[in-house]
């Protein structure tokens, strides 16, 4: 378990310095964002604040109101990555781990390179003690690794863990 806690800590640190992709100019091309997308994002942001208890006061809306808004956008014909991601995060907070896992997997189905969803799913697998899934996810996505000395240590630890698992379970299992 400690090995994967180290992995999570190091990957979280390495992504803390990543830049945002919210620029309106990508590769010299202007991106046009429709009013509908802006409205959807504003409603999702408002729903997140409600769930986190930061919504409008006097009286504050119940958190379930925010969850319902997120569900609306997450389960739409064109599912929202942001809504699914936050439902996954809130699922972890409320110990609904299978639901959280499904939401993070949905995000990755839409955007297989969504780094925050990958990190959260990796954390979730460790929390669920599904170390094989955590190791597979870590190995499947090379950008979760960096060129640091810490990554080398993590790789060695993972290799030791995998060899320990094969010794315990037997060579043919």
Q: What is the pLDDT of residues 100-123, one digit of tens each?
A: 999 999 999 999 989 899 989 988
- The predicted structure's pLDDT at residue 154: 54
Instruction: State yes or no: pLDDT of 41 exceeds 50.
Output: yes
- The predicted structure's pLDDT at residue 108: 96
Work out the average pLDDT over 79-84: 96
List % helix, strand, coil for the chain (3-state, nearest 5): 70, 0, 30
Integer Cα distance of 159 and 136 in angstroms: 12
- The predicted structure's pLDDT at residue 13: 41
Q: What topology does CATH give the domain 2-9+34-152?
A: 1.25.40
- The predicted structure's pLDDT at residue 10: 44
- The predicted structure's pLDDT at residue 14: 43
Instruction: State yes or no: pLDDT of 71 exceeds 90.
Output: yes
151, 10 Cβ separation under 8 angstroms = yes
Higher pLDDT, 156 or 13: 156
């Amino acid at each position: 378990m400690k090995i994967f806690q180290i992995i999570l800590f190091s990957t979280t640190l390495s992504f803390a310095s990543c830049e945002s992709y919210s620029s309106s100019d990508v590769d010299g091309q202007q991106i046009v964002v429709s009013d509908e997308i802006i409205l959807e994002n504003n409603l999702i942001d408002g729903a997140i604040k409600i769930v986190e208890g930061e919504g409008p006061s006097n009286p504050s809306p119940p958190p379930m109101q925010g969850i319902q808004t997120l569900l609306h956008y997450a389960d739409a014909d064109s599912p929202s990555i942001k809504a699914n991601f936050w439902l996954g995060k809130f699922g972890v907070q409320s110990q609904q781990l299978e639901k959280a896992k499904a939401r993070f997997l949905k995000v990755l189905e839409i955007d297989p390179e969504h780094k925050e969803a990958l990190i959260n799913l990796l954390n979730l697998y460790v929390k669920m003690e599904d170390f094989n899934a955590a190791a597979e996810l870590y190995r499947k996505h090379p950008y979760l690794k960096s060129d640091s000395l810490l990554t080398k240590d993590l790789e060695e630890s993972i290799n030791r863990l995998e060899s320990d698992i094969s010794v315990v379970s037997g060579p043919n299992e």
